[in-house]
Amino acid sequence: MKNCSLIPKELINIITKNTPLKEVLRLAAPCRCDACNNGCKFGSGSLAGDDAKRIAAFLGVSGEDLKKGFLEEIELFNKRLLRPKLIKEKGKPYGKCMFYDDNKGCTIHEVKPLECKTSIQCKGYGEELSVWFMLNHVVDAGSPESIRQYAQYIKSGGRLIPGASLEELVPDKERLRKILSYELL
Ligand code: SF4
Ligand code: SF4
């Protein structure tokens, strides 16, 4: 593994739900090594923002061909996301990312999906960055079902960062009550 500088504890606390993307990308190291690559053997990271455009340009394919040939849809917190296709072994729900090469690692490293960029293993704040991705690109405060699933995540002990409480995501107390009691579907 390449050397990763140790990050002071104070820095961990600066990652909040509202940390700007530019700052997140500064914290998400552009390096590559086996520790971060390991996850690519069992799954792939979701796209966000203009990832699809950048990956399509990098591969020299149209947006439509990218979707058909290289991406698959998944649902998380009631939201549909795209991620690189997995090469699954028969009978297994997981598999290697189609962009992962056993010798070279990620073959689209320069333009890899935002979730991949924010999944870093050797720094003290990797988990916080993953939660930042989930809150900014997966959980949808406008969707009651998404909020209910997020409430379950919190209940089961899921990691939180500042700005990520249910009350902060849905500041209208009455709306939150109706969502959690299934009065709002
Ligand atoms: S951030 Fe990931 S790729 Fe970079 S050195 Fe640490 S473990 Fe390796
Ligand atoms: S796109 Fe690259 S970093 Fe992301 S899962 Fe695939 S091989 Fe890994």
* pTM for this prediction: 0.90
Q: Which of 44, 98, 102, 104 to mutate to test the pocket of ligand 2 (most atoms within 8 A of CB)?
A: 44
What are the pLDDT digits (tens) for 78-91? 999 999 999 998 88
What are the pLDDT digits (tens) for 44-76? 999 999 999 999 999 999 999 999 999 999 999
Q: Which of 116, 120, 129, 130 to mutate to test the pocket of ligand 2 (most atoms within 8 A of CB)?
A: 116
Are the CB atoms for 145 and 179 separated by under 8 Å? no
Whole-Å CA distances, 103 to 89, 100, 121, 144, 171: 20, 9, 20, 44, 49
Measure 100 CA to ligand 2 centroid, in angstroms. 6
Ligand 2 interacting residues, C-beta cut-off 6 A: 40, 44-45, 84, 97, 99-100, 106, 108, 112-113, 116
Per-residue pLDDT, 170: 97
Residue with tokens 């390449």: 2
For residue 108, give the ligand nearest its CA: 2
Per-residue pLDDT, 121: 79
Neighbours of 120 (CB within 10 A): 19
What are the pLDDT digits (tens) for 15-34? 999 999 999 998 887 788 88
The residue ranges of DSSP E strands in the chain, in sequence order, are 71-76, 79-84, 86-88, 95-97, 100-101, 105-106
3 state DSSP class of 45:
coil
